[in-house]
């Protein structure tokens, strides 16, 4: 008998939570017990679904430790999704130009539900590197400069919905409570850019601005990350100007190649 719509939806939701749990532990790997605890699913359910995901190449188990990781097939899917609007290909030139101007690390992020995902990173040539995100890293919307830029670019109602739904996640990030995030959104809108003053890694600052489609909706966010002393006074304002100009140009380029939504 074919599965009902409700049971199919439940299955998709369970698979999604498992994949997210593994993504959160992408570097360390996860035990079956870890996944069950993170998802709230029973071990038997996790074991059954992991078996199916493994057979499809979406999950892999280390042959020595038994730890679970996202599989290679997820890389293929993720790369296709990340470049849906030509962002990675078109955005790379913009990121390279920014890195030449600043010598600092440049990030490109997109929204994924209530989260932001880093889809590209270009390490700057300045001797002190700011590497607070890897490609594929995921954070709640609002946590980090690029993520905050994406959140602040949404409508008031959407911002409030995201913040409320992310309340439990935000508790894992010191300095990112619900009220604090609301204040950061207001400040970002007033300033015209999002600023992370070492809230995630002490001594590491970042500036983020949204890349918008022709209707003004955020497609992505560009971020410049640097040490505290490289984000002060006139230099910060220069970085904001370069970043804003780059984001505007990237939005226009995406629209010309069919990457901007209409």
pLDDT of residue 2 exceeding 50, the answer is: no
How many Cβ atoms are within 10 Å of 248's Cβ, its own excluded? Answer: 14
- C-alpha distance across the termini of the chain, in Å: 41
Residues with Cβ within 8 Å of 12's Cβ and at least 6 positions away in sequence, in order, are none
Residues with Cβ within 8 Å of 174's Cβ and at least 6 positions away in sequence, in order, are 199
Q: Choose between 125 and 207: higher pLDDT.
A: 207
Q: Name the pLDDT band for 136 (thresholds 50, 70, 90).
A: confident
At 260 the pLDDT is 45
Taking residues 134-153, report their average pLDDT: 92
At 127 the pLDDT is 77
pLDDT in tens, 9-66: 778 888 988 988 888 787 788 999 999 998 999 999 999 999 989 888 889 888 789 8
- How many CA atoms, within 13 angstroms, populate the side-chain half-sphere of residue 28? 7
H or E stretch including 218?
strand 218-227
Q: Name the pLDDT band for 87 (thresholds 50, 70, 90).
A: confident
The pTM of this model reads 0.71
CB burial of residue 164 (10 Å; 0-12, 13-18, 19+): exposed
The domains located in the chain, with CATH, are 5-76 (1.10.10.10), 83-256 (3.30.450.40)
């Amino acid at each position: 008998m074919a599965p009902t719509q409700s049971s199919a939806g439940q299955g998709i939701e369970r698979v999604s939570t498992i994949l997210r749990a593994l993504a959160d532990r992408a570097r360390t790997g996860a035990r079956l017990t870890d996944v069950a605890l993170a998802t709230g699913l029973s071990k038997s359910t996790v074991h059954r679904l992991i078996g199916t995901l493994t057979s499809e190449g979406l999950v892999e188990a280390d042959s020595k430790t038994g730890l679970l990781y996202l599989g290679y097939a997820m890389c293929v899917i993720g790369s296709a999704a990340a470049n849906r609007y030509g962002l990675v290909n078109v955005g790379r030139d913009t990121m390279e130009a920014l890195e030449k101007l600043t010598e600092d690390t440049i990030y490109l992020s997109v929204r994924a539900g209530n989260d932001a995902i880093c889809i590209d990173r270009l390490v700057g040539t300045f001797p002190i590197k700011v590497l607070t995100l890897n490609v594929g890293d995921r954070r709640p919307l609002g946590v980090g400069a690029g993520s905050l830029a994406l959140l602040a670019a949404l409508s008031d109602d959407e911002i409030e919905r995201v913040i409320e739904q992310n309340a439990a996640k935000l508790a894992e990030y010191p300095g990112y409570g619900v009220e604090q995030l609301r204040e950061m959104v207001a400040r970002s809108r007033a300033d015209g850019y999002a600023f992370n003053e070492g809230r995630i890694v002490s001594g590491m600052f970042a500036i983020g601005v949204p890349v918008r489609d022709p209707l003004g909706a955020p497609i992505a966010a560009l971020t410049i990350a640097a040490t505290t002393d490289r984000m002060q006074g006139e230099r910060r304002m220069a970085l904001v100007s370069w970043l804003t100009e780059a984001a505007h140009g990237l939005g226009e380029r995406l629209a010309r190649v069919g990457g901007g939504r209409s």
